[in-house]
């Protein structure tokens, strides 16, 4: 008997059983707020399996014979969103720092580079790296380049193997790049064989399968593992386990590149954090075995890399191809307007995620905006604010300084930096930043209030009182339910109460 009405079969309890099974086998976790998105795919999969009851279906899914159905179900549930050169900032770090370092080292060595693009979806990410490497390495045919690209979703992997893409996979990519590395096949673009042959696709489950071999026949480990926009769907403990597997699959000194929403000092505590102007990359210690005994895993070193104006993907392609025009200079007005519209749409989406505490998704969207327009100061500031809230102060400072670089009069950045200095008890630096805030906006009440608090902490009581007095005067002229500072959801009334209390006790 095949049940026609899904509500008879798929009650919440049943959904939760399958949800837990999916998490156990793939790591992908659906919180209760998203559980209803499972209903339709599970019901269709249930019908497809010809099971007579839901318990039979579950048994089927967990048996060897049911593997095909499980894979089909996973294929419907995975988010395969990807495109060429997605996350320009990661590609900038690869192009400007990691690839040149490896190429230099290997050119007088074994001339072999192995990369694992873990959870590559339909292949745009590994092919983008192949294109980049081919531009960077002269006579690449004399090298052993192995890019192993894996995904749990077999449908995605077979698309990747074909290497044929619609226009949508090239959003944000200059048309000249498409013309150089692809050829037209019907209404699609197929990657040229020179680049395709650098990538080998395999089906692989990050949670249950052994790591793939690097294909070079050496110690089977990788120089780089790139795994982006995957662990946002995992629970923290799953990500931590995966981070350890990646660590063990890297050569000493090897790099792990994760998505911007996936940065986490906790999850990658075994790695050294390399902080570049465009983001963070995790590195396995060069002296892993020597360090093992001496350095506790929780001690993390931090290396700040210098900012280069030239850190941008298009420069490498430009350098090697005179045919390619400058993108930003050549953007016509309608492209510019489209970008602005897209930025606004994504920004609103990000703020919605932020307000519903879906921070990882919000961060992903803010980075998307910076992919379109690296000079979007509000997106940079939100990344500063959110990094600070997560206690990632180095990263927050980097974003705050980036905002000031983009717009030296952007007071919110100075204010966030002041709060970070305050948190770190760096009172003089905090005062300096707050003075800038007040210079830019003499009516910024929160600036006076915070400055007053810092003066009080520094035992400078009369300066503190002066600041609270100005804050109180400014607040008295405003409607009491007005929001003072959006990011803190603080009203005039609430701040005034605080200011008056502080004034009395300063």
Ligand X SMILES: C[S@@+](CC[C@H](N)C(=O)[O-])C[C@H]1O[C@@H](n2cnc3c(N)ncnc32)[C@H](O)[C@@H]1O
On the 0-12 / 13-18 / 19+ scale of CB atoms within 10 A, 219 is exposed
Kindly state the smallest distance separating residue 56's Cβ from ligand X, in Å.
Answer: 26
Kindly state the smallest distance separating residue 228's Cβ from ligand X, in Å.
Answer: 4
Can residue 257 be called a binding residue for ligand X (CB under 6 A)?
Answer: no
Q: Whole-angstrom Cα distance, residue 455 to residue 428? A: 10
Q: Whole-angstrom Cα distance, residue 290 to residue 345? A: 50
Can residue 121 be called a binding residue for ligand X (CB under 6 A)?
Answer: yes
Kindly report the CA angle at 201 between 195 and 204, in degrees rounded to 5? 155
Kindly state the smallest distance separating residue 41's Cβ from ligand X, in Å.
Answer: 14
Closest to ligand X by CB, 206 vs 492, is 206
Kindly state the smallest distance separating residue 79's Cβ from ligand X, in Å.
Answer: 5
Can residue 153 be called a binding residue for ligand X (CB under 6 A)?
Answer: yes
Applying CB under 6 A, which part among 44-52, 76-84, 387-395, 410-418 lies near ligand X? 76-84
Q: Whole-angstrom Cα distance, residue 383 to residue 387? A: 6
Q: What percentage of the chain's residues is helix, strand, coil (to nearest 5)?
A: 60, 10, 30
Residue among 9, 10, 15, 120 that touches ligand X (CB under 6 A): 120
Kindly state the smallest distance separating residue 120's Cβ from ligand X, in Å.
Answer: 6
Kindly state the smallest distance separating residue 295's Cβ from ligand X, in Å.
Answer: 31
Contact assessment for residue 283 and residue 255, using Cβ atoms and an 8 Å cutoff: yes
Residue window 312-351: x/- pattern of binding to ligand X, with contact defined by CB under 6 A:
----------------------------------------
Residue-level length of the chain: 506
Q: Whole-angstrom Cα distance, residue 325 to residue 95? A: 19
Grouping H, G, I as helix, E, B as strand and the rest as coil, residue 225 is strand
Window 80 to 119, contacts with ligand X (CB under 6 A)? 80-82, 86, 119
Closest to ligand X by CB, 229 vs 285, is 229
Window 16 to 75, contacts with ligand X (CB under 6 A)? 26-28
Kindly state the smallest distance separating residue 338's Cβ from ligand X, in Å.
Answer: 22
Can residue 177 be called a binding residue for ligand X (CB under 6 A)?
Answer: no
Q: Whole-angstrom Cα distance, residue 365 to residue 368? A: 5
Window 211 to 250, contacts with ligand X (CB under 6 A)? 228-230
Residue among 152, 257, 417, 484 that touches ligand X (CB under 6 A): 152
C-alpha distances in Å from residue 314, one per residue of 89, 320, 325, 326 = 11, 10, 9, 8
Q: Whole-angstrom Cα distance, residue 253 to residue 271? A: 10
Q: Given the rule CB under 6 A, which residues bind ligand X?
A: 26-28, 78-82, 86, 119-121, 125, 151-153, 156, 204-207, 228-230
């Amino acid at each position: 008997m095949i049940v026609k009405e899904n509500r008879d079969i798929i009650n919440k309890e049943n959904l939760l059983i399958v949800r837990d099974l999916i998490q156990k086998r793939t790591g992908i976790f659906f919180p209760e707020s998203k559980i209803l998105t499972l209903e339709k795919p599970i019901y269709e999969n249930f019908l497809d399996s010809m099971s007579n009851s839901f318990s039979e279906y579950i048994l089927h899914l967990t048996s060897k014979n049911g593997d095909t159905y499980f894979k089909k179900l996973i294929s419907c549930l995975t988010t395969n969103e990807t495109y060429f050169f997605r996350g320009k900032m990661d590609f900038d770090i690869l192009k400007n720092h990691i690839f040149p370092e490896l190429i230099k080292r290997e050119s007088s060595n074994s001339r072999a580079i192995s990369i694992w693009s873990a959870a590559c979806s339909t292949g745009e990410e590994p092919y983008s790296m192949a294109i980049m490497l081919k531009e960077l390495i002269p006579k690449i045919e004399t090298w052993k380049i192995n890019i192993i690209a894996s995904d749990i979703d077999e449908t995605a992997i077979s698309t990747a193997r074909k290497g044929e893409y619609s226009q949508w996979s090239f959003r944000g990519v200059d048309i000249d790049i498409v013309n150089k590395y692809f050829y037209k096949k019907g209404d699609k673009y197929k990657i040229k064989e020179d680049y395709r042959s650098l990538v080998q696709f395999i089906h692989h489950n990050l949670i249950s399968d052994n790591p793939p071999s690097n294909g070079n026949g050496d110690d089977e480990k990788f120089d780089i593992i790139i795994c982006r926009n995957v662990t946002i769907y995992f629970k923290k403990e799953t990500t931590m386990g995966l981070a350890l597997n990646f660590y063990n699959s890297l050569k000493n000194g090897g790099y792990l590149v994760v998505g911007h929403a996936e940065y986490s000092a906790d999850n990658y505590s075994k790695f050294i954090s390399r902080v570049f102007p465009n983001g963070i990359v995790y590195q396995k210690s060069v002296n892993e075995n020597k360090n093992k005994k001496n350095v506790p895993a929780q001690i993390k070193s931090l290396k700040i890399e210098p900012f280069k104006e030239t850190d941008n993907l298009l420069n490498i392609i430009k350098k090697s191809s005179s045919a390619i025009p400058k993108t930003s200079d050549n953007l016509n007005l309608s492209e510019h307007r489209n970008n602005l519209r897209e930025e606004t749409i994504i920004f609103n989406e990000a703020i919605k995620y932020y307000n519903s505490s879906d921070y990882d998704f919000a961060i992903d969207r803010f980075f998307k905006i910076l992919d379109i327009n690296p000079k979007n100061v509000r997106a940079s500031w939100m990344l500063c604010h959110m990094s600070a809230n997560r206690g990632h102060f180095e990263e927050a400072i980097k974003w705050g300084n980036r905002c000031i670089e983009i717009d030296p009069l952007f007071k919110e950045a100075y204010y966030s930096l002041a709060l970070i200095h305050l948190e770190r008890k760096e009172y003089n630096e905090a005062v300096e930043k707050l003075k800038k805030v007040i210079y830019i906006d003499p009516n910024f009440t929160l600036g006076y209030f915070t400055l007053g608090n810092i003066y009080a902490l520094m035992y400078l009581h009369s300066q503190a009182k002066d600041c609270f007095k100005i804050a109180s005067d400014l607040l008295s002229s405003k409607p009491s339910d007005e929001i003072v500072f959006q990011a803190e959801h603080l009203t005039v009334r609430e701040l005034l109460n605080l200011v008056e209390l502080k004034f009395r006790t300063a």
